[in-house]
Amino acid sequence: MARRSSGYEVEVTEGAIRVRRAGRTLTIPAAAPDAESEEDADFVVRLDDLDHWDPPDDETLIEIEELHKILDAVEKQLEKHGLSVDFD
């Protein structure tokens, strides 16, 4: 499933969420919530893992403002498919 939101193309696969914008790609590992989690989310995204784009743009830092836009696009795409995400 792929969809554009605010210029960001979000694709959800079995093991990852891919976000593309302006020729760059960010692969976000999507983990299932652990059994002890109180959150009722379908995916858990570890924010500490999201600081640079994928190679060959891995020297490009993702600024906080852009990260918020990425996370918003991811959340909107998942909601369209009845899925939820927890940002940890």
pLDDT in tens, the chain (88 residues): 455 556 899 998 878 999 999 999 999 987 777 665 556 788 888 898 899 999 999 999 999 999 999 999 999 999 998 988 888 8
Q: What angle do CA 78, 68, 70 make, to 5 degrees?
A: 45
Q: For 13, phi and psi rounded to 5 degrees?
A: -120, -175
* Cβ-proximal residues to 39 (8 Å cutoff; 6+ apart), any chain: 33, 86
| pLDDT score at 58 | 93
Residues 6+ apart with CB under 8 A from 79: none
